[in-house]
Structure 1
Amino acid sequence: MAKAEQKKGNAVIETIKTIVYALLIAGVFRSLFYQPFWIPSGSMKDTLLIGDFLFVNKMAYGYSYASCPSVIIPRFGINIDAEDICGFLKKDDGGRYWGGEPERGDVVVFRHPVTGRDFIKRLIGLPGETVQVNDGVVSINGTPVEVSPDGTFVEPRIISRRTGQACANGPVGEGADCIKEKFIETLPGGHTHSILNVRTQPSDNTPVYTIPEGMYFFMGDNRDNSSDSRVPQQFGGVGYVPYENLVGRAERVMFSSAGASMLFFWTWRGDRFFKRIE
């Protein structure tokens, strides 16, 4: 009987060790190579949709404290910041280890400079440049970017959850077509991508922003439904993002679910499997 209990105890210990090793390996993989990311909002439509699941390439820009994941579980009162885990990676000059420079047009996951939460936006302005928005058109170093009409973006209006679904065709009811104007924006260097417009609003006209060294300027593709660098941090926006706060580059959507859970396979969007992020 004692031997049986001893074997049972050893089996439990081995199981616990296996789980711990698996978690350690997963933690190292996530910290060093790729981080899974689930799109929770509509600020990057129509490039990224709510329910898109993707992996972020952490090797693209090298490593900083932001490369480590935060552990936030409000239900259990757990709020461990990435800096608490990897603060030793912070450099006095705000640099990175094996750092690589991001390119204009990259879709980047970064840590919000104030809240520490992960955001995903498109890189528009580089250190030392000026950025301004006039009548919804971005100007970089005083030169407006090229914008050309590209039809409309249409999706069903969903009122039951907060999706940022302002519509160019006015308030519409549940399930009705929500229409946004669609354009192709071409940034300096030739990178092209889709942007959406709903209406004229204050963020369509901004002052001139001069980006400090070591900082970057980000905007969402869904221009009228995005909290980004157009609004300074003291007013609740993102403001300039430090180089060390970059987590990685988003490159490809693995799959996408239009439902409330990734387990609802019948809601998966068949046209978005392994879709390249432009």
Structure 2
Amino acid sequence: MLKKKPGGWLESVKTILYAALIAIGIRTIAFEPFNIPSGSMIPTLLVGDYLFVSKFSYGYSRHSMPFSPDLFSGRIFGSLPHRGDVAVFKLPRDGTTDYIKRIIGLPGDRIQMRGGRLYINGEQVPRELVGPYTVEGDGPRITVRLYRETLPGSAGAAAVTHNILESTDDGPFDNTQEFVVPADHVFAMGDNRDNSLDSRAMNAVGFIPVENLVGRAEFIFFSVDGSAAWWEVWGWPFAIRWSRLFSAVR
């Protein structure tokens, strides 16, 4: 017969504390889970996607830690993103809200939209029409145009080809001034070009300090389409987007 040792409850508390510290450590220096609540990154990321972000990709800042404590400034082991990375960052205007967008411009780059086309350093970025795309799960169901866009490489990295959506080439952000990315900042845009609040909106997002980068999106580990409520257990298997599980974010 097993006897409960004196102080067993204390050992249980210690175990819970150790587990919590390990979890916080992993979340701070390795990987952190995020979910996608809006459609600004469709078709790359869908509403209901859950993904892991690597915290070590760009080094560490105070935003790498829970609640972003003001312990130090700048980045430790820092490195710039590559153009085309899908990255999570803290919104510059409040330093707390998590945003996820694609990095389009690096320090010194000149970024502009003209007639719905992206220009980087004066060169038009190639895009190829793929066909129609039906947007679901982010408001009314609509059909837009799907393009394949190729961003120029950066810092020895290869060019990045990814998909974007355009409903029009004459929207509010389809004709902009030329933005010159300051030192220690990046410029980010959503892949759902006409439905994304991003660096093109200077008063809302604007240039993103490198210090505000949280990490790079790596892969989707879970995804649901929202067709089943939490209590509709019988519908769960049909609500999971099985084909998206463990797919890389590109």
Does TM-score exceed 0.5, indicating one fold? yes
Distance 2:115 2:209 in 1: 27
1:276 match: 248
Distance 1:153 1:100 in 2: 36
1:242 match: 209
Are the structure 2 counterparts of residues 22 and 183 from structure 1 closer, same or farther at C-alpha, using a change threshold of 3 Å? Answer: same
**Residue 217 (structure 2) pairs with residue 220 (structure 1):** no
SS in 2 for 1:180: strand
1:195 match: 164
1:13 match: 10
Per-residue CA deviations over 1:107-153 (Å, capped at 9, x if unaligned) read 00011111221110000001011111011111111111001101122
2:156 match: none
- Which range moves more in the overlay, 246-255 or 264-273? 264-273
Unpaired segments of 5 or more residues in structure 1?
71-81, 166-171
Q: Percent identity of the aligned residues?
A: 45
2:91 match: 112
Q: Check whether the contact 1:257–1:265 (CA below 8 A) recurs between aligned residues.
A: no
Distance 2:150 2:249 in 1: 15
Q: Number of residues paired by the alignment?
A: 236
Match of 1:149 among 129, 132, 135: 129
**Residue 14 (structure 2) pairs with residue 42 (structure 1):** no
Q: Check whether the contact 1:129–1:210 (CA below 8 A) recurs between aligned residues.
A: yes
Amino acid in structure 2 at the alignment position of 1:271: S
SS in 1 for 2:58: coil
RMSD: 1.9
- Which range moves more in the overlay, 210-219 or 193-202? 193-202
Shift of 1:258: 0.9
Distance 1:265 1:119 in 2: 29
Distance 1:112 1:29 in 2: 23
**Residue 27 (structure 2) pairs with residue 58 (structure 1):** no
Amino acid in structure 2 at the alignment position of 1:57: S
Distance 1:191 1:122 in 2: 11
2:146 match: 182
Shift of 1:12: 2.4
Distance 1:60 1:247 in 2: 9
Distance 2:216 2:34 in 1: 11
Amino acid in structure 2 at the alignment position of 1:182: L
Q: Equivalent residues in 2 for 1:78-117 (5 A)? A: 82=68, 84=69, 87-90=70-73, 95-115=74-94, 116-117=96-97
Amino acid in structure 2 at the alignment position of 1:124: I
SS in 2 for 1:202: coil
- Which range moves more in the overlay, 219-228 or 190-199? 190-199
Are the structure 2 counterparts of residues 221 and 8 from structure 1 closer, same or farther at C-alpha, using a change threshold of 3 Å? Answer: same
Distance 1:196 1:205 in 2: 16
Shift of 1:11: 2.7
2:179 match: 209
Amino acid in structure 1 at the alignment position of 2:53: V
